[in-house]
Structures are given as structure tokens and as C-alpha cells.
Amino acid sequence: MINMNRFIFLVLLFIWATLNSIAQTPARTEKQKIERLGKFYSDSLKQLKTLYDNWKYEKADTLANPYYFRLFASPTFYDKAVQELFSLSTPEKDYRAILECRALASVYAQSPWLIQHLSDAIESATPSSYEQVIKPSVQLSKQVAEKTNDDFNLENLDIAVHRPSFWTFRANVSFQLMQNHISDNWYKGGESNHSFLATLNAQANFDNKQKIIFNNHLEMKFGLQSSNSDTEHRYKTNTDLIRLTNELGIKASKHWYYSAMLQSWTQFYRSYKKNERRVRSDFMSPFESLFTLGMKYSLRTKNNRFSVNANLSPFACDFKYVNRMGLAPSFGLKPDHHTRFDYGSNVTITAKWTPWKNITWDSRLFYYTNYKYTQIEWENTIYLRINRFLSTKLFLYPRFDDNVRRKDSESYFQFKEFLSVGIDYSF
């Protein structure tokens, strides 16, 4: 009897608990289902973000597949999702497609009130009011509008596809003049003179924005100066340079490249010293070419006001050629020799800084040593731009070379400077 009473009590307790659960379930389960659905979509977004952060294109990427769009589109009942889950055949499927079908089926079974559309009725459905507000009308071009008829075909359109160009070209041309007049009875002495300087800087650079850069820089400078006190020469060169720099780089990290660089330079015309007929240098006398292998560091600020490129080359091969046999000893070659090869190390640093809008500083530091002699050059050009076509240039050029022939009283340090005003144009 006791067991029977206990059984009846347990049955009544179960019925009461069931009825109480049924009475409270709709509100509670609906809230729980919405929370679960929200958590599911949140987890899906986090998973997609993780996949995107670590994604790399491998020709068969799965992040860009079309399966996920239905999870974020307007709530719609898709027949295919249910058919995929209840299909008897088991073809190979993308696991992401299977997960997507399960997620949709879960929503259909547990939260059917969320469904707004049926897949077979989407094409005939008119856009909702919010879609009409958000999506502006598209204005077709005249060419497309004329061909939007029943016979419309993309092949009828004249569509031009252009390959991206990874080349950039820049050039700067300047012509500077300077004139100085001093009367014969000027109390400090001196002499009148005038000079000019023509320069050309041209660049053709390749950058595929991924791994490879190929930079080419041509510099040409030629200047003449008059001197009344020089009885042998009416005009002499004061600046004379032809220099070509070719550089190939393969990206190693954000700012570093594996680099191979070739620098070659000579001059246009013969040069003399005052009141001397002896030629001191000439075209291809000397000609020098330096090939280097090493690493390049490149940095450019976001506002493009400062940039620096530093080539550090533990291996460098220097080739020097002198066409005039008599000048060979003056440039470190053995007598009766036209050529010389040297091996050493090189550092070449170029920098550009624009502290203010109309002021720019260009600098080039060149260092080479074969562990017997050292050559250092530091070229500095300060541009004071007056307007688009006029500018003032200040050029400072200290140099050290302990391989040249010199007198015992002369120093290995050399210095050159000029200040000029003239036409300056970039394109």
C-alpha cells in the first residue's frame, strides 16, 4: 500500500511538473532559441574573421565560396538545404556546405517564425520598402541602355580590359645661370665670370607591389665657366657627370630587399686646370662601374616627406677603364694599362627630405673600399623652389679618395660647391 501511494504521488508530481513546464516553455524556449541563434551567427562571424586573417590564395580557396551568403541574407526557406541533409547519396561535399545546411535546417525546425520568404517565390517577389530606399537606381551608360533589349549580349559591348602597369617614369630638367661682374679697380680684386649648368635626372622604376623591384636612374650634369685670367682656355668645365644606376631587388621583409646594383659613371668633355694644356680627365677617362650584392633597406613616411634607401653590400666588384693611357697612373692604374679590377665592400645611401613645401634636400653617400684604399663621396643638393619653373640650387660635395695621385702638400680631402638660379621643370 505504501509503495502504491508513493507511485501515485510520483505520477501526480510528474504531471504537475510537465504542465508547469508546458505553461512556461514558450516564452523561455523562444528567448533561449533567439539567444542560441544570435550566438550561432556571432560564432560564424568570428570563424570567418579568423579564416580571413589567416587566408592565403592557393587557387582552391574555400573562404571565397558562395555557401555562406544564405546565413546572412534575408531569412528564407531553401529546399536544397533540406534535400542535401536527407539525401541518400553521399557525394563528396565541402564540410562548410554541410555545416551551412545544418544551421539552416536548425533554424527551420526550431524557429520557423523567423522565415519570411520561400526560395521558389524570391524571383517573383517585389523588393521591400527598405530595399527600395537603400538601393539607388542604376543609371546605365548610353551604350548599354541602347542594347538592353531581348537580344542583349555581353559580346555586343565594346569592353576594354587594360593590364595594370607597374612602371613609373619621372624626369627633371634644369638650366641654371650665374653671372658675376667685377670692375678692374675693385678694392678686393677678383675677376668677372659667368657660368651655366644643365642637368637631367630621369627614372624608370618597376614595382609589382609584391616581391620584385627594378629601379633605373640616369643622371647627366654639364656646366661651363668662363675665366678671364686663364690664357689657355676661354671656358672650362665646372661640372661634368654621366651616371647610370640599375638596381634589382627581391623583397625579404617589410623594409628589406635582397639587392643587386650596378653603378656606372664617366664624363662628357675634357677638363683642364687653370693655364694648363694638359688634359686632366676626359670622356671614358676614367670610366668606372661598380657591381654590388647585398641587402637594401627602404623606408618612406606616409606623407612622402622623407625617404631613405640604404644598400649594404659586403661584396663589390669595381671595374675601372681609362682610355687615355697617359692618365692611367692618375686614377690608380698601373702604367701602360687601360683597365683594373678591384674587389671590396660598398655602402650607398640615398635620402630625400622635404621639411617644407618649397624646400627639398637630396643626398647621396657613397663609400667603397678594397681594403687598401677608400673612396667616400657625399653629394648634397638643396632645392629652393620659387615657383613651378624657377628654383635655386645649393650643391655641396665633400669627397675623400686616397687612391689618386697628388702632391705631398695636397690633402686627400676635396670639396666642391656652387649656388645657382634658373629654370627647373619636372614631369
* 261 membership: H or E segment, kind and range: strand 256-266
pLDDT of residue 199: 92
**221, 240 Cβ separation under 8 angstroms:** yes
Q: What would the grid cell of residue 14 be?
A: 510528474
Place 406 in a pLDDT band, splitting at 50, 70 and 90. Answer: low
Contacts by 410-418, CB closer than 8 A, 24 or more apart: 418/178, 418/197, 418/223, 418/238, 418/239, 418/393, 418/394
Strand partners, 312: 295, 347
Whether pTM > 0.85 for this model: the answer is no
Per-residue pLDDT averaged across 201-211, rounded?
90
Place 365 in a pLDDT band, splitting at 50, 70 and 90. Answer: very high
Q: CATH number of the domain at 167-426, out of 3.60.9, 2.60.40, 1.10.10, 2.40.230?
A: 2.40.230
How far is it, in rounded angstroms, from Cα 193 to Cα 191?
A: 7
User: Residue 1: is its pLDDT beyond 70?
Assistant: no
pLDDT of residue 227: 79
How far is it, in rounded angstroms, from Cα 340 to Cα 407?
A: 23
All structural domains of the chain with their residue ranges:
2-133, 167-426
Per-residue pLDDT averaged across 222-237, rounded?
84
Per-residue pLDDT averaged across 136-153, rounded?
50
Per-residue pLDDT averaged across 227-244, rounded?
86
pLDDT of residue 297: 95
Question: What mean pLDDT value characterizes the chain?
Answer: 78
- Reduce the DSSP state of residue 33 to 3 states and report it: helix
* 10 membership: H or E segment, kind and range: helix 2-53
Percent of the chain with pLDDT over 90: 30
pLDDT of residue 341: 92
User: Residue 218: is its pLDDT beyond 80?
Assistant: yes
pLDDT of residue 243: 95
- Using a 10 angstrom Cβ sphere, with 0-12 exposed, 13-18 middle and 19 or more buried, the burial of residue 266 is buried
Per-residue pLDDT averaged across 76-80, rounded?
80
Closest CA to 203 of 172, 169, 173, 174: 169
Pairing relation of β-strands 117-118 and 76-77? parallel
User: Residue 151: is its pLDDT beyond 80?
Assistant: no
Q: Per this entry, what is the length of the chain?
A: 427
| Span of 111-115, 331-335, 383-387, 418-422 with lowest mean pLDDT | 111-115
Place 234 in a pLDDT band, splitting at 50, 70 and 90. Answer: confident
Place 109 in a pLDDT band, splitting at 50, 70 and 90. Answer: confident
How far is it, in rounded angstroms, from Cα 109 to Cα 36?
A: 14
Strand partners, 235: 226
How far is it, in rounded angstroms, from Cα 377 to Cα 399?
A: 5
Per-residue pLDDT averaged across 53-70, rounded?
58
pLDDT digits (tens, 9 = 90+) for 287-334: 999 999 999 999 998 888 999 999 999 999 999 999 998 888 888 888
**Secondary structure of 82-123 in HEC code, one letter for each residue:** HHHHHCCCCCCCCHHHHHHHHHHHHHHHHCHHHCCEEHHHCC
Contacts by 397-402, CB closer than 8 A, 24 or more apart: 400/374, 400/375, 400/376, 401/373, 401/374, 401/375, 401/376, 402/373, 402/374
Closest CA to 201 of 238, 236, 167, 241: 241
